[in-house]
Amino acid sequence: MNSKLAIDGGNPVRTKPFPTVGDASGRTFGEEEIALVTEVLRSGKLFRFGGKFVPRLEEEFAKLHAVKHAIACTSGTASIHIAVAAVNPDPGDEIITSPISDIGSVAPILFQNAIPVFADLEPDTYTLDPRSVEERITDRTRAILVVHLLGQPTDMDGIMQIARQRGLAVIEDCCQAYLAKHKGKLVGTIGDMGCFSLQQSKHMTTGDGGICITDDEDLGSRARLFADKGWPREGPVRDYLFLGLNYRMNELTGAVACAQLGKVEKCVSTRRALARRLTEQIRGVEGVNPPVVREGCEHSYWYYPITIDDQVVGMSPHEFVRALSAEGIPASAGYIGRPLYLSPVLREKRTYGSSHCPYDCGRDIEYKEGYCPEAEAILKRLILVGWNENYSEEDADDIAAALAKVAQAKRIRPAQGKRS
């Protein structure tokens, strides 16, 4: 292989585009989805009540996870909002969560007038560190919302031990972690509630949508009511029991989701097999660190995360990503760039009108740099390589070749491979 980097005028490792989750090349849409959507349109029943596909999705998704309740909804954010509302915190109560995630993990906490408190992360798994969680618990803590980031299961043994000792609810954000397992148990079934996303980039997708699951009767009942405006439809009177929202999934979305559900196990197994192949090939590449998988767990690889030793490869993660991209490899640095608590909505408490509610109802927490130092360090070294179920072995091999090429070429370039 030509060792001259493409960014410096050499030949790239890859010139053919990779499959991408942004279009059909990296998705599993086919005749199954077309047939079910066509059936819905011909029936004229697009509303979930009176239709059959949303109820079918809920039944089959609950069966897959061996739980009693699955509530289909409009997004992953909605699924988390449903779970937080089911837990029913008081204004000013606190929910401990991860500083590295999409804002959809945190906005529902604020919309229920609870306060997000961020615990730090484990350096190698990018998931909540139970020791940091315990340190952040106060007399206002109501729940822990774990994020199984990028498909990596959180240390649920540690989290559940703390939660049960302190009487706290546990919500699992599984939006990036379909069929990930923690010591044989599917994520989403270990805590009190599990939340899933059907957004375009997820392991199974309807463009947007979500599902909330639980094995608890009371939580399941309240969750279902909250997603349908607090209205018990089986009652004789059209009454509204408590403040809820309309998060109902429609039948067109439900039809696509039913078809996708039949493919998700193969999707995840393919991602895992290719990830193992790539990991084996780059394990010996000096300066490149493949993802760590928690012992006894199964990762589901929403992305393929790596870190680099910038002292060895002689460049920053952003420089490394630019070089990888020039080699034809889809990659990005840092994921969200900075922890959620440093975004304006949280740092400046831009919530309701001119108020700072819910902070006005509880502690006035100061979000600032250094609040979660490990999370801040992770984002400075994390690199995400694009990943989906339509990758081939050739695709994984090209990624491995490009990672090795970039890491090794930079080390041998005069002056640029060293720091003063």
Strands 297-298 and 181-182, by their bridges, are: antiparallel
- CATH architecture of structural domain 31-263: 3-Layer(aba) Sandwich (3.40)
Residue 415 — pLDDT band, cuts 50, 70, 90? very low
| Average pLDDT of span 53-69 | 98
- At residue 419, the pLDDT reads 42
User: What's the mean pLDDT in 134-162?
Assistant: 98
Over the stretch 270-292, which tens digit does the pLDDT of each residue have? 999 999 999 999 999 999 999 99
Mean pLDDT of the chain: 95
Mean pLDDT of 11-39: 97
Taking 60 as the threshold, does the pLDDT of residue 310 lie above it? yes
CA distance 199 to 181: 21
Looking at the predicted structure, is the pLDDT value of residue 418 above 60?
no
| pLDDT tier, 258 (very low <50, low <70, confident <90, very high otherwise) | very high
Query: What long-range pairs does 366-373 form, CB within 8 A, spacing at least 24?
Result: 367/118, 367/341, 367/342, 368/341, 368/342, 369/342, 371/99, 371/118, 371/339, 371/341, 372/99, 372/118, 372/119, 372/120, 372/121, 372/132, 372/339, 372/341, 373/120
What's the CA dihedral at 346, 348, 354, 355 to 10 degrees?
A: 60
Q: Are 85 and 219 in contact (CB under 8 A)?
A: no
Compute the average pLDDT of residues 105-118.
Answer: 98
Helices (H), 214-370: 217-226, 251-261, 264-282, 310-313, 317-326, 344-347
Q: Per-residue confidence at 410, pLDDT binned at 50, 70, 90?
A: low
Instruction: Kindly report, residue by residue over 204-223, the tens digit of the pLDDT.
Output: 999 999 999 999 999 999 99
Mean pLDDT of 225-236: 92
pLDDT tier for residue 234 given thresholds of 50, 70 and 90: confident
For residues 132 and 130, what is the distance between their CA atoms, to the nearest angstrom?
Answer: 5
pLDDT for position 362:
82
Which helix (H) or strand (E) covers residue 32, if one does? helix 31-43
**What's the pLDDT tens digit per position in 322-367?**
999 999 999 999 999 999 999 999 999 999 999 999 999 888 899 9
**Least trusted range by pLDDT, from 12-16, 200-204, 359-363:** 359-363
Distance separating alpha carbons of residues 402 and 318, to the nearest angstrom:
15
Task: Answer whether 403's CB lies under 8 Å from 306's CB.
Answer: yes
- Can you give the pLDDT at residue 409? 87
- Judged on CB neighbours under 10 Å (0-12, 13-18, 19+), 323 is buried
**H-helix segments, 47-115:** 53-65, 76-87, 107-111
Give the alpha-carbon dihedral of 296, 300, 302, 308, to 10 degrees. Answer: 40
Q: What percent of the chain has pLDDT over 70?
A: 97
Residue 237: the pLDDT is 83
Cβ-Cβ contacts under 8 Å for 408 (sequence gap 6 or more) = 3, 285, 286
What pLDDT sits at residue 417?
43
**What is the CB neighbour count within 10 angstroms for residue 59?**
12
Length reported for the chain = 420
Task: Report pLDDT for 229.
Answer: 97
Distance CA 208, CA 198 (A): 5
Query: What one-letter code names the amino acid at 197?
Result: S
Do 104 and 75 contact (CB within 8 A), yes or no?
Answer: yes
How far apart CA 263 and CA 198 sit, in angstroms, is 13
Indicate whether 1 pLDDT > 80.
no
Q: What are phi and psi for residue 96, nearest 5 degrees?
A: -85, 135
User: Which residues neighbour 263 within 8 Å (Cβ) at sequence distance 6 or greater?
Assistant: 28, 32, 204
Buried b (16+ CB within 10 A) or exposed e, 107-142: bbbbbbbbbbbbbbbbeebbbbbbebbbebbeebbb
Provide CB contacts within 8 A for 22, sequence distance 6+.
200, 201
Torsion angle of the four alpha carbons 238, 244, 246, 250, in this order, in degrees rounded to the nearest 10: -80
- pLDDT exceeding 90 applies to what percent of the chain? 93
* Structure token digits, residue 358: 């819910």
Determine the average pLDDT of the residues in 359-388.
95
According to the model, what pLDDT value does residue 37 have? 98
Reference 388, options 30, 18, 101; nearest CA is 18
The mean pLDDT of 390-416, rounded to a whole number, is 86
Grade residue 2 by pLDDT with cuts at 50, 70 and 90. low
Q: Which residue is associated with the tokens 């706290």? A: 168
